[in-house]
Copies of this chain bind each other. A is one copy, B any other.
Amino acid sequence: MTKSILITGGARSGKSALAERMTLTLGEPAVYIATAEAFDDEMAARIALHRSRRGPEWRTVAAPLDLAGALRDSDGGAPRLVDCLTLWLSNLMLADRDWEAAVADLCALIPQLTAPVVFVTNEVGSGIVPDNALARAYRDAAGLTNQRMAVACDDLWLCVAGYPMKVK
């Protein structure tokens, strides 16, 4: 069975850079599966920053919604980095998709993959309870997604200030 890794942590905790290093230890070249869409200038700037940091050893694939499809299509060779699950979840919810079914499908796919995969996700539940119901629903969905993905993946790391702590 191939290796699957989940990396979680707060915003700007260095998860992406850590995940890139981990992915490249699993093989080169590697595939970067981006779930981000450049809705606004702030997001476009963040995407550009991430892309500029990655070198020519990366091929980029966009998968804002059909993450399982992108993993199947890119399977069989190079390691993949999915960055990130919480943005994918947000895309699914905004598009009014059944995110719980999508997460279940993704978790069922992981043990069938033959090439390694590293997933980046976010901790969003360690602040004060949000005022609005939508933010609370998103927070709940992100937490449940993280729990299910942690069961499905071989390894789980918590990233703190750029350094990894092994959880599972």
Which A residues are closer than 8 A to B by beta carbons? 6, 8-14, 42, 121, 123-130, 133, 135-136, 138-140, 142-144, 146-147, 149-151, 156, 158, 160-163, 165, 167-168
Contact partners of A127 in chain B: CB under 8 A: 124-128, 130
By beta carbon, the residue of chain B nearest A141 is B12
Q: Are B139 and A162 in contact (CB under 8 A)?
A: no
Partner of A150, one of B6, B9, B163: B163
Tell me whether chain A's interface is mostly helix, strand or loop, or mixed. Answer: mixed
Contact partners of A146 in chain B: CB under 8 A: 12-13, 161-162
Partner of A161, one of B129, B140, B147, B163: B147
By beta carbon, the residue of chain B nearest A168 is B163
Partner of A125, one of B10, B167, B168: B10
Q: Are A12 and B158 in contact (CB under 8 A)?
A: no
A15 to chain B, nearest CB (A): 10
Q: Are A165 and B161 in contact (CB under 8 A)?
A: no
Q: Are A139 and B6 in contact (CB under 8 A)?
A: no
Q: How far is the CA of A62 from the CA of B8 in the complex (A)?
A: 34
Contact partners of A8 in chain B: CB under 8 A: 160-161
By beta carbon, the residue of chain B nearest A136 is B42
Q: How far is the CA of A121 from the CA of B13 in the complex (A)?
A: 13
